[in-house]
């Protein structure tokens, strides 16, 4: 009997089954579960699992090792704190990570929970790649906790008991949105009152209410542990904040220690006591609790002002008397419970908070005013709900007409990260609970979104930031491939942003002004929808969209966006700034390129993949260990002298999340296979070992690429006939050579294509690929004098603290091949490092904090060949192209004579056009003939 299929195998099989009958026939016994998916579409290629491709020693393995150490060392309970808090569960002392993943983060933590999803994906990839059980154990811890969180959210809130000042106490976890609801008649319209309570605050935030009795933000009475000045305050008003009659303390209450607060109001005088000592007195109080009548609400821990936080800490011994206790009576409350003093328990209300379960608190006043623990937002609308904040974020989005991330910050984006993380956890560990959580999350989303009119959905998804939903469509379609639930495929289609899909399907460029990372990942999802439905508009829109970004809005390193947004098409130099190339954008463009390549193996997608992976993505990870932080960039500024920030925006950002993922899946696109197993694509030259179980072979790449200009592939295992398709990079314009067992392969390599080697492979066959690098420049589309340098696939940056663009001439020693590298001097012992005019150039992928210049200003003031100066100024045409530019555009040259001929014909044309004098032209031609060149 065959062994059971893993979840990962089932998912890949299901995805393959959506790719057409010819593919489904090869997909083993699991295809039946996916056979009901509608309108299967053709996918020519399929990827390999991460565990099928071992990453061997090299620059990628070095970077990954740093991230794996971070994954190993970071306490995942910190990530889970915000989920547990939202569910009212104990956090075990764990402290939220902060930044965007915390209650004090940017926009008040309205994106919290997203980082947990990223971390789950990182751990899943780390486990798949290494097999190290430490990552599986961390996944298990996180899934355990999220199961418990969802169950807690499904139930009414329950008492979280804690040791009190004299007995028990009720703990209010920060971020729990829980409060104690007292019956409305607790004040009994009493003209005099004493309030007394023990508090142990755990957070220094202001305006969290110990109590708030009232109707709204106009009529209320409150006691807060910290006002705007950080000291206790009691206030009473029937006219809103401007009419408050109050009492303010003189010092902050200590955190994590019990303090006693008491207030008396009677006969026009109010007094505030802290730990039995009167700290404030107001003898002009004309309002009494009776002024409020019967308040609509009587809350402990909750404010009538929605922006105020819920009280975080513990409450013990809350009593209310219908008279003003004396100073002596209040002093005696410090030593024992009220019931054990002469004052006795409060006659209006008295709660000891000794309960250890349930949601009710007994009243010892004799009035039977049982209090109830509640959530400010009630509870989820569907049992599948799972989040680190209330469902109100999602509800409020449905009525928003414009974005405001301080109120609602991309809740479906956050849901996507959680969903993706759970799905990846399931695939990595075969944990059905993770699948159940993911399925339930989608069931909940469908229950909400399927009830909304299409116009509402279109408005929501078009709102900047608040309506951002990331790659949720891709994740939902992947889930549907496992569950087969019609509701899940229907849910994926509810995220259609028709305005953008239709424009891109018609090849109408509407990207100017759009938020880049809000839109890139949705097209990967639309390609997956094409897989599942066969609707061509999804695939056509995605292809056209990609072409609108690459190269028209792409920087040399493969990044895109400035300040997170796109500007006009073909404006590169005009958009360079300190906040260019958001790292998430590169991550998502790589995913889209990869997904499109499965359908149409156009080498342009893999050319882009190499560019972005070997430069921006590698360079976004700092080259030093840190268990606390992933050390990944957010923006990569391309301004002169930019220093990369590897701990951006207080941490736990979207880009750090995708950066963690990128660094644990470097090998995911090195190899692809034809769906029928007839060919193996080698897309990237990277030290890896592929286990191709279907064909019974392994393919090992031995190389130090990109420090080595080529690679060696060794095939071992069964004898197998298949085509080996070797990518010829578009920049490899000369010298690309392939041998098999020492014999040259027939065929002409075409830059920007694949060289195919067809044979029956036998164990031990060796393929040697030679990929000579040359130094070349790429010009900014809108300013040809602003250029970035590449040596083969590697972007070279100048290291300098100068804040103006550095100016360099590069033609002075150019080789006959057109290679500009002879103008530079290699740095001994430092591969891929060079100097020019005293400035060091280094690979962009090195994650240092050196100030860098990704773009330099090209300055070729005089005509120089082979290091010999003609003494003639280098003229420029109307479009900025210089004489030297036009001459060297003819490279490579087969011989010195070919170069000299090019010089003379170009000079003659410029003389005829009046751009160059004849005498100067003759001098240039004569000097070119005398000069010496490297080949």
Q: Identify the H or E element spanning 77.
A: helix 76-86
| The predicted structure's pLDDT at residue 43 | 86
- Low-confidence spans in the chain with pLDDT less than 50: 1-5, 16-40
Q: In whole angstroms, what is the distance from residue 270 CA to residue 719 CA? A: 93
- Let me know the angle formed at the C-alpha of 580 by 578 and 582, rounded to the nearest 5 degrees: 125
Q: What share of the chain is helix, strand, coil (3-state, %, to 5)?
A: 35, 20, 45
| The predicted structure's pLDDT at residue 36 | 28
The torsion angles phi and psi of 444, rounded to 5 degrees, stand at: -65, -45
Torsion of CA 112, 114, 118, 124, to 10 degrees: 100
The DSSP bridge partners found for residue 882 are 876
Name the token pair of 454: 């299409």
| The predicted structure's pLDDT at residue 109 | 87
Q: Pick the closest to residue 618 from 176, 58, 162, 26 (CA basis).
A: 58
For 728-773, how does the pLDDT look when each residue is reduced to its tens digit (9 = 90+)? 999 999 999 999 999 999 999 999 999 999 999 999 999 999 999 9
The DSSP bridge partners found for residue 271 are 264, 281
| The predicted structure's pLDDT at residue 108 | 82
Question: 188 by DSSP, 3-state: which?
Answer: coil
Q: In whole angstroms, what is the distance from residue 139 CA to residue 135 CA? A: 6
For 861-886, how does the pLDDT look when each residue is reduced to its tens digit (9 = 90+)? 999 999 999 999 999 999 889 999 99
Q: Report DSSP letters for 528-551, one per residue.
A: HHHHHH--HHHHHHHHHHHHHHTT
Q: In whole angstroms, what is the distance from residue 586 CA to residue 611 CA? A: 10
- Let me know the angle formed at the C-alpha of 270 by 264 and 273, rounded to the nearest 5 degrees: 55
Name the token pair of 390: 């209330």
Strands (E), 644-706: 671-674, 679-682, 688-692, 697-702
Q: What own/partner pairs with CB < 8 Å and gap ≥ 24 does 61-66 have? A: 61/687, 62/623, 63/618, 63/621, 63/623, 63/663, 63/666, 63/847, 64/129, 64/663, 64/664, 64/666, 66/621, 66/622, 66/623, 66/624, 66/625, 66/626, 66/631, 66/663
**Residues 6 or more apart whose Cβ sits within 8 Å of residue 506:** none
| The predicted structure's pLDDT at residue 35 | 27
142 burial level (CB within 10 Å; 0-12, 13-18, 19+) = buried
Decide if 909 contacts 924 (C-beta within 8 A): no
Q: What percent of the chain has pLDDT over 90?
A: 93
| The predicted structure's pLDDT at residue 27 | 30
| The predicted structure's pLDDT at residue 33 | 29
The DSSP bridge partners found for residue 265 are 193, 270
Q: Pick the closest to residue 634 from 621, 626, 624 (CA basis).
A: 621
**Helices H / strands E in the chain, number of each:** 23, 39
Name the token pair of 101: 């993943």
| The predicted structure's pLDDT at residue 12 | 54
Q: Identify the H or E element spanning 16.
A: helix 7-17
Question: 227 by DSSP, 3-state: which?
Answer: coil
The DSSP bridge partners found for residue 673 are 46, 680
Decide if 558 contacts 612 (C-beta within 8 A): yes
Q: What is the pTM of this model?
A: 0.94
Selecting from 1.10.10, 2.60.40, 1.20.1070, 3.50.70, what CATH number does the domain 671-770 have?
A: 2.60.40
Q: In whole angstroms, what is the distance from residue 66 CA to residue 286 CA? A: 66
Name the token pair of 909: 């044309």
- Let me know the angle formed at the C-alpha of 543 by 538 and 546, rounded to the nearest 5 degrees: 125
Q: Pick the closest to residue 193 from 365, 349, 316 (CA basis).
A: 349
Domains of the chain: which residue ranges?
1-37, 178-375, 671-770, 860-935
408 burial level (CB within 10 Å; 0-12, 13-18, 19+) = buried
**Residues 6 or more apart whose Cβ sits within 8 Å of residue 862:** 869, 870, 871, 872, 873, 874
Q: What own/partner pairs with CB < 8 Å and gap ≥ 24 does 872-880 have? A: 872/920, 872/923, 872/924, 873/920, 875/910, 875/915, 875/916, 877/910, 877/913, 877/915, 879/784, 880/784, 880/785
The DSSP bridge partners found for residue 199 are 259, 315
Q: Report DSSP letters for 870-902, one per residue.
A: EEEE--B-TTS-BHHHHHHTT---SSHHHHHHH
Q: Identify the H or E element spanning 330.
A: helix 327-332
Q: What is the largest CA-CA distance in the chain?
A: 115
Q: In whole angstroms, what is the distance from residue 723 CA to residue 758 CA? A: 4
Q: In whole angstroms, what is the distance from residue 516 CA to residue 563 CA? A: 9
| The predicted structure's pLDDT at residue 8 | 57
| The predicted structure's pLDDT at residue 16 | 46
Q: Report DSSP letters for 487-534, one per residue.
A: HHHHHHHTT--HHHHHHHHTT----TT-BHHHHHHHHHHHHHHHHHH-
Question: CATH number of the domain at 178-375, please?
Answer: 2.60.120.200
The torsion angles phi and psi of 756, rounded to 5 degrees, stand at: -100, 130
Torsion of CA 823, 828, 829, 830, to 10 degrees: -30
Q: What own/partner pairs with CB < 8 Å and gap ≥ 24 does 628-633 have? A: 628/73, 628/74, 629/70, 629/656, 630/67, 630/70, 630/656, 630/659, 630/660, 630/663, 631/66, 631/70, 631/847, 632/583, 632/656, 632/659, 632/660, 632/663, 633/583, 633/659
């Amino acid at each position: 009997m065959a062994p059971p299929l893993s979840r990962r195998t089932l998912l890949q099989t299901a995805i393959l089954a959506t790719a057409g009958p010819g593919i489904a026939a090869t997909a083993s016994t699991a295809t039946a579960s996916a056979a009901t998916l509608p309108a299967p579409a053709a996918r020519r290629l399929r990827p390999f699992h991460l565990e099928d491709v071992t990453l061997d020693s090299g620059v990628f393995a070095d970077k990954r090792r740093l991230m794996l150490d971070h994954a190993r060392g970071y306490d995942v309970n910190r990530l889970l704190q915000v989920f547990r808090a939202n569910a009212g569960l104990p956090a075990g002392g764990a402290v939220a990570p902060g930044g965007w993943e915390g209650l004090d983060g940017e926009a008040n933590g309205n994106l919290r929970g997203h980082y947990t999803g990223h971390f789950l994906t990182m751990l899943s990839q780390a486990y798949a790649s290494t097999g190290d059980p430490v990552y599986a154990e961390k996944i298990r811890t996180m899934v355990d906790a999220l199961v418990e969180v969802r169950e807690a959210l499904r139930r009414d809130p329950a008492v979280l008991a804690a040791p009190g000042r004299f007995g028990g106490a009720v703990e209010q976890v920060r971020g729990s949105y829980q409060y104690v609801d007292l019956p409305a008649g607790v004040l009994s319209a009493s003209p005099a009152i004493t309030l007394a309570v023990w508090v142990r605050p755990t957070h220094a935030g202001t305006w969290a209410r110990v109590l708030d009795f009232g109707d709204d933000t106009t009529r209320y009475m409150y006691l807060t542990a910290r006002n705007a000045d950080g000291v206790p305050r009691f206030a009473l008003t029937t006219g809103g904040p401007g009419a408050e009659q109050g009492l303010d303390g003189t010092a902050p209450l200590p955190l994590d220690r019990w303090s006693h607060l008491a207030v008396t109001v009677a006969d026009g005088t109010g007094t505030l006591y802290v730990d039995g000592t009167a700290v404030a007195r107001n003898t002009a109080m004309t309002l009494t609790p009776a002024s409020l009548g019967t308040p609509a609400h009587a809350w402990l821990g909750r404010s009538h002002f929605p922006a105020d936080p819920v009280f975080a800490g513990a409450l013990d011994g809350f009593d209310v008397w219908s008279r003003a206790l004396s100073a002596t009576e209040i002093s005696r409350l410090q030593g024992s419970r009220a019931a054990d003093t002469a004052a006795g328990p409060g006659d209006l209300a008295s709660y000891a908070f000794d309960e250890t379960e349930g949601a009710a608190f007994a009243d010892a006043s004799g009035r039977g005013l049982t209090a109830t623990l509640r959530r400010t937002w009630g509870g989820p609308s569907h049992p599948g709900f799972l989040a680190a904040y209330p469902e109100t974020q999602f509800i409020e989005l449905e009525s928003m007409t414009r974005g405001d991330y301080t109120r609602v910050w991309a809740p479906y984006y956050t849901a996507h990260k959680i969903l993706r993380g759970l799905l990846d956890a399931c695939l990595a560990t075969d944990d059905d609970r993770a699948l159940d959580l993911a399925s339930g999350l989608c069931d909940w989303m469908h229950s909400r979104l399927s009830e909304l009119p299409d116009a509402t959905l279109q408005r929501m998804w078009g709102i900047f930031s608040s309506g951002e939903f990331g790659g949720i469509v891709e994740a939902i379609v992947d889930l549907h491939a496992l569950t087969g639930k019609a509701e899940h495929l229907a849910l994926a289609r509810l995220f259609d942003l028709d305005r953008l899909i239709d424009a891109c399907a018609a090849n109408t460029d509407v990207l100017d002004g759009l938020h880049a990372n809000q839109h890139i990942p949705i097209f990967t999802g639309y390609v997956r929808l094409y897989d599942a439905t066969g609707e061509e508009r999804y695939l056509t829109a995605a292809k056209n969209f990609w072409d609108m970004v690459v190269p028209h809005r792409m920087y040399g390193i493969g990044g895109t966006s400035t300040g997170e947004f796109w500007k006009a098409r073909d404006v590169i130099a005009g958009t360079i700034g300190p906040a260019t190339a958001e790292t998430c954008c590169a991550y998502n463009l790589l995913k889209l390129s990869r997904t499109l390549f499965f359908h149409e193996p156009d080498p342009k997608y893999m050319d882009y993949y190499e560019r972005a992976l070997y430069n921006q993505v590698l360079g976004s990870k700092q080259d030093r260990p840190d268990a606390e932080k992933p050390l990944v960039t957010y923006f990569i500024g391309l301004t002169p002298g930019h220093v990369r920030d590897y701990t951006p925006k207080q941490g736990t950002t979207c880009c750090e999340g995708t950066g963690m993922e990128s660094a644990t899946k470097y090998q995911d696109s090195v190899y692809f296979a034809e769906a029928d197993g007839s060919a193996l694509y080698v897309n990237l030259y990277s030290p890896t070992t592929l286990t191709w179980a279907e064909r019974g072979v392994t393919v090992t790449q031995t190389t130090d690429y990109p420090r080595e200009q080529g690679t060696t592939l060794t095939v071992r295992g069964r004898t197998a006939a298949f085509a080996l398709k070797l990518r010829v990079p578009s920049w490899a314009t000369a010298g690309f050579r392939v041998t098999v067992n020492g014999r040259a392969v027939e065929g002409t390599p075409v830059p920007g294509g694949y060289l195919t080697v067809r044979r029956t492979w036998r164990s031990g066959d060796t393929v040697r690929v030679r990929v000579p690098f040359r130094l070349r420049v790429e010009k900014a589309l809108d300013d040809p004098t602003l250029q970035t340098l590449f040596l083969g696939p590697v972007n070279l940056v100048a290291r300098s603290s100068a804040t103006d663009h550095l100016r360099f001439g590069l033609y002075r020693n150019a080789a006959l091949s057109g290679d500009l590298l002879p103008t530079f001097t290699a740095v001994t012992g430092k591969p891929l490092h060079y100097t020019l005019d005293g400035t060091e150039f280094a690979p962009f992928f090195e994650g240092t904090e050196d100030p860098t210049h990704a773009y330099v200003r090209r300055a070729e003031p005089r005509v120089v060949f082979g290091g010999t100066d003609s003494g003639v100024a280098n003229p420029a045409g109307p479009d900025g192209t210089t004489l030297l530019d036009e001459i060297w555009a003819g490279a490579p040259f087969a011989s010195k004579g070919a170069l000299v001929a090019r010089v003379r014909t170009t000079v003659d044309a410029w003389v005829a056009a009046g751009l160059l004098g004849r005498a100067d032209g003759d001098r240039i031609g004569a000097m070119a003939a005398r000069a010496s060149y490297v080949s």
